[in-house]
């Protein structure tokens, strides 16, 4: 964090987000940066930024993971890569079986190596690995970070851009039938 790399990554992500923003949002952001922004400009920019955040959440988590776990980053940078041990026959058989079960679900052109590479990944956030796996089976990576909170903040056009449609809305009813304890 001292070298400014995390800030650089966040600024790059913001620039990438802003490049895709509507002109009125870019204008509001420019006014805010120049000190001439109004409360309405700030609300407009914040509303837009919150609606865009789910699209860029995996990238943000990856940037923050390095900052939040500096020991891992330091040890990875200063130590030689350990030689991986060879997998046993039983492990290779389990891998083949797992791939055999997944193969009917995979999109055309996806190789076993591509799937295995994703399944072997380790990440601080499970959503990162899920976002890489979902496209292999033909599901938009957007689903990896889509939860009720983001769904409430997401506009229908954003969901449509990801080809996401909900047939029914899931709701919960409060029940008064509690089992006797």
pTM: 0.45
Query: In this predicted structure, what is the pLDDT of residue 18?
Result: 82
At residue 178, does pLDDT exceed 80?
no
**Nearest to 56, CA basis, from 85, 98, 21, 29:** 21
Hey, CA dihedral for 159, 56, 140, 146, is it positive or negative? Answer: negative
Query: In this predicted structure, what is the pLDDT of residue 16?
Result: 81
SS3 165: coil
Q: How far is CA 53 from CA 21, 47, 78, 112, 167, in A?
A: 12, 10, 33, 32, 24
Percent of the chain with pLDDT over 70: 70
- DSSP-derived letter for residue 173 is -
pLDDT in tens, 68-110: 554 444 444 444 455 667 878 998 898 899 899 988 988 888 8
- Contact (Cβ atoms closer than 8 angstroms) between residue 131 and residue 144: yes
pLDDT in tens, 33-58: 888 888 888 888 888 877 777 776 66
- Domain boundaries of the chain, sorted by first residue: 1-77, 86-181
How far apart are alpha carbons 96 and 6 in whole angstroms?
Answer: 39
How far apart are alpha carbons 125 and 145 in whole angstroms?
Answer: 10
Burial label, 29 (beta-carbon count in 10 A; 0-12, 13-18, 19+):
buried
Query: In this predicted structure, what is the pLDDT of residue 51?
Result: 75
């Amino acid at each position: 964090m001292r070298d400014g790399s995390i800030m650089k990554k966040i600024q790059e992500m913001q620039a990438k987000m802003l490049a895709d923003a509507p002109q009125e949002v870019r204008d509001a952001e420019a006014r805010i940066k120049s000190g001439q922004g109004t409360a309405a400009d700030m609300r407009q920019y914040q509303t837009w930024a919150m609606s865009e955040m789910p699209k860029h959440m995996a990238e943000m988590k990856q940037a923050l993971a390095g900052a939040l776990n500096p020991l891992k980053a330091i040890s990875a940078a200063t130590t030689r890569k350990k030689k991986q041990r060879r997998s046993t026959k039983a492990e290779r058989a389990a891998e083949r079986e797992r791939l055999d079960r997944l193969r009917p679900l995979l999109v055309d052109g996806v190789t076993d190596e591509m799937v295995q590479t994703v399944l072997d990944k380790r990440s601080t956030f499970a959503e990162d690995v899920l976002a890489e796996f979902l496209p292999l089976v033909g599901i938009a990576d957007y689903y990896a970070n889509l939860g009720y909170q983001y769904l409430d903040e997401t506009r229908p056009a954003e969901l449509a851009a990801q080809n996401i449609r909900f047939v029914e809305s899931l709701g919960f009813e409060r029940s008064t039938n509690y089992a006797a304890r």
